[in-house]
Chains A and B, each alone.
Chain A
Amino acid sequence: MSLIEQFELGLDAPICLTWELTYACNLSCVHCLSSSGRRDPRELTTAQCEAVIDELQAMQVFYVNVGGGEPTVRPDFWYLLEYAVAHQVGVKFSTNGVRITPERAAFLAGTDYVDVQVSLDGATAAVNDRVRGEGSFALATRALDHLAAAGFRDAKVSVVVTRENVGQLDDFKAIADRYGATLRLTRLRPSGRGADVWDELHPTAEQQRQLYQWLLRAGEKVLTGDSFFHLAGYGQPLPGLNLCGAGRVVCLIDPIGDVYACPFAIHDQFLAGSVLEPGGFAGVWRDSELFRDLRSVHSGGACTSCGSYDACRGGCMAAKFFTGLPLDGPDPECVHGYAEPALAAAGRIAPSPSQDHSHRGAPVRLALGPTRLCDQSPLVPAGGGR
């Protein structure tokens, strides 16, 4: 049996676990995969987080991807970071940069087993701030400045590829190079608030091909979190596992301790259990009905007869689910366009979200409104809200 087939049957513990520590966030990015903004009152306590880390150590989960929300706004974030590292659980955390002061940057530079990933969704403030909010480009680059000045090595510049920034890939690479950082590109999923903007922001078919060719050229030097495996349908596989790892090699622990099949699948349908159950996280990972099902042999459905099925394995489960497509059919961004009829079909219903922590009264969608000043009425504040 090949390693990929083994992975499809699941591992004894995840290889790569995402843990969102809080739904609280200082930003309101239009495509936020977890619809973050407000803190959930049920957020895990410090002691509960310690217990999760103890379990991860026992399960030999060697590192965890920490996100949110903005994880650094948790008052105990720096404590938990040190606790994890001291328990042989390395931490890679994503941040918009808000709390990366020169002092914190120096602390991070002096700590082993910590990786910092700064989110940037435009190589220019204009492109970035349209999606992530005004001032967010400055916030991110200031954090990268502080990290570089402190001697932090090999930070990650993390970019969600969109229709608006896909032409800036070389510029992103140049930014990463300038900071001695590594570029990380990931796929825009229609998850969370991403569902509201996916139609407008996901790369066009032509752009997908450009992205694929760019990734083949850039090769191993750019990280992708294996998120573009649907592009393997073009022919040559991209570096990485090229399979959907949901519930098999990856999963998500959300801020209240709920365990989902993948970070992009925060929805009741993909809820496997809670770390607060008597069996803890290990019990959920090993025994949940949902994960057992994801690890069983699945039919490729409509994709089985496609010559690319062995390459793309039908694509991303979350992308299909949140666009209202059948899970055993093509990915909405199938490179052969096989999802087009289903996407265009009348009566297609995208599932309604099962949670939303967005800031109240922040009509984030409108940030994607008119770009030219003269498109707006001078009398009605079109950017919304304030």
Chain B
Amino acid sequence: MLDEAWTLTPGVALRPEPFGALAYHFGNRRLTFLKRPELVAVVRSLGDAPTVRSALTAAGVPVAHFPAYLEALRGLAATDMIRPRNPS
């Protein structure tokens, strides 16, 4: 995942909250909590970043924390909140 291109799924809205954000998927109607503001920044920037790695770096996430962020991102992928971007 780290060197792949991903994006916030179209039809998913992020609502800012003190702890991070609520993500709501209008398609499957799932609600998920993004529990860190840094994670919200990463998710928002995925679509414009060449890779997940560059999105993490741009958000200032230390390399040592990448595994925890990747786990969170995989969780979001499992409910289709984010999805791989087709190479163009």
Query: Which residues of A come within 8 Å of B, CB atoms?
Result: 1, 3, 6, 9, 11-13, 15, 60, 62-63, 88, 90, 113
Contact = CB atoms under 8 A, between A and B. Distances in A.
Given A6-B19, A15-B22, A62-B15, 9 more contacts: A6-B18, A9-B18, A11-B18, A12-B15, A12-B16, A12-B17, A12-B18, A62-B13, A63-B29
B65 to A, nearest CB: 18
Contacts of B31: 15, 62
A110 B62 CA distance: 48
A90 B15 contact: no
B78 to A, nearest CB: 15
A60 B15 contact: yes
B33 to A, nearest CB: 6
B18 A60 contact: no
Nearest to B14: A60
A60 B23 CA distance: 10
Contacts, number: 35
B74 to A, nearest CB: 19
Interface residues of B, number: 13
A62 B24 contact: yes
Nearest to A7: B19
6 contacts: A6-B19, A11-B22, A12-B15, A62-B22, A62-B24, A90-B26
A6 B19 CA distance: 7
Contacts of B15: 12-13, 60, 62
Q: Identify the 10 closest CB pairs spanning chains A and B, nearest first.
A: A60-B15, A62-B24, A6-B19, A11-B17, A12-B17, A3-B33, A60-B13, A3-B35, A6-B18, A3-B19
Interface of B: 13, 15-19, 22, 24, 26, 29, 31, 33, 35
A88 B24 CA distance: 11
A13 B31 CA distance: 14
A247 to B, nearest CB: 15
A13 B17 CA distance: 8
Nearest to B16: A12
Contacts of B35: 3
Contacts of B22: 11, 15, 60, 62
Contacts of B29: 63, 90, 113
Contacts of B16: 12
Nearest to A92: B29
A124 to B, nearest CB: 32
A9 B18 CA distance: 10
B10 to A, nearest CB: 13
Given A90-B29, A113-B26, A1 B19 contact: yes
A193 to B, nearest CB: 32
A60 B22 CA distance: 10
Interface centre among A11, A62, A113 (most CB of B within 10 A): A62
A63 B22 CA distance: 13
A28 B35 CA distance: 44
A9 B22 CA distance: 15
A163 B22 CA distance: 37
A301 B29 CA distance: 38
A12 B55 CA distance: 27
Nearest to A13: B15
B15 to A, nearest CB: 4
B5 to A, nearest CB: 27
B44 to A, nearest CB: 14
A15 B18 CA distance: 14
A60 B33 CA distance: 14
Nearest to B25: A62
B19 to A, nearest CB: 4
Interface centre among A3, A11, A60, A63 (most CB of B within 10 A): A60
